[in-house]
Structures are given as C-alpha cells and as structure tokens.
Amino acid sequence: MSLQPGDTLPDISIKIIDGDIQPAQTGALFAGRKAVLFGVPGAFTPTCSNRHLPGYVEHFSDFQARGIGVMCLSVNDAYVMQAWAAAQNVPPGLLLLADGNASFTRALGLELDGTAFGMGLRTRRFALYAEDGVVRVLQVEAPGELRVSTAEAMLVAIEH
C-alpha cells in the first residue's frame, strides 16, 4: 500500500550523502523537523539530472528560508549518489539518500518497476512534505511526467 498524507514515514536504515557518505535511520532524519523529500528514478538519468534535481538545487535557499530541509531519494548505491551530488553541485545541507536495496522505497510503497527499460526496481518520481516524520503533502507523478514533484510545485503546495 502506498504512503498517504497523515502517515508516519517508516524508520529504515539508509545512506545519506552530504559531502561524505554516512549511515542513518530515516526516523531520525525526519524527526523534529520540516522536510521535503523528493524521489527520482535514477541518478545521472536525463530528466532527473537536467530538470528535477537542478530545480531543488536552484530553490534550496527558498526552502531553507522557510525552515524546511530538502532530501532526494533514489535507488542507487551511495557511491553513485555521491558522484551525482558532485556532478550536480549539490549544496551542503541538501541531502541525497541512497536507497541501494530499495528498502525505504518499498516501505513507502513508491517503487517503480523499470525492468522493461533495463533499470530494475526504482523509486517513482514523487515529492512529499513532512513535519516531524508525518506526511502532510504527497505529490506522485503520472508516468513520464515532471509537474507536481518539482521544487516550484512543492513550494506552492506547502503554502496551502
């Protein structure tokens, strides 16, 4: 079953990239804070690299000004996510979450079967806003789209 507004985010072991690679628990990452988490199907893929992540990099200070942390989730290993962060000039504090085994993605119910494209199990394109680990806004993209999970769309959605 897919995550819904009002649900508490699951507590799963994950790797975070904020310069270095560090182990973390998702429960602790979201506890006591406001955060936007957006999911992408893959690091270094065209839409993710050319539009989705760059929008959050560009608007990172807008989220910070509202006291909101920003995190990007993908089913990639931590080393790929670290290289992607460097290639995309991700600013310190914008966390990339490497979900190499798709454990967090599956717990969210937001997995995408990309086997037809040679990609295996991936994260669906989405964005959510959570307060103290409780989902307040959830925007899941239709296949092939990038509209409701952009940084701009989330800034608008959070204001309502």
pLDDT, tens only, 20-63: 999 999 999 999 999 999 999 999 998 999 999 999 999 999 99
> Which residues, listed in sequence order, are joined to residue 138 by a DSSP beta bridge?
128
Residue 115 inside a domain? The answer is yes
Residue 1 inside a domain? The answer is no
Residue 88 inside a domain? The answer is yes
Rounded to whole angstroms, the Cα distance separating 46 from 52 reads: 9
Q: What is the pLDDT of residues 90-147, one digit of tens each?
A: 999 999 999 999 999 999 999 988 888 877 788 999 999 999 999 999 999 998 899 9
Question: pTM for the full model?
Answer: 0.95
The domain containing residue 22 runs over which residues? 13-159
Interacting residues of 79 by C-beta distance below 8 A, sequence separation 6+: 21
Residue 8 inside a domain? The answer is no
Residue 72 inside a domain? The answer is yes
CATH of the domain at 44: 3.40.30.10
Predicted local distance difference test score (pLDDT) of residue 1 = 57
Residue 138 inside a domain? The answer is yes
Q: Which residues are catalytic?
A: 48
pLDDT of 88 over the 80 cut: yes
Predicted local distance difference test score (pLDDT) of residue 30 = 98
Rounded to whole angstroms, the Cα distance separating 91 from 56 reads: 10
Residue 2 inside a domain? The answer is no
Residue 110 inside a domain? The answer is yes
Tally the domains of the chain.
1
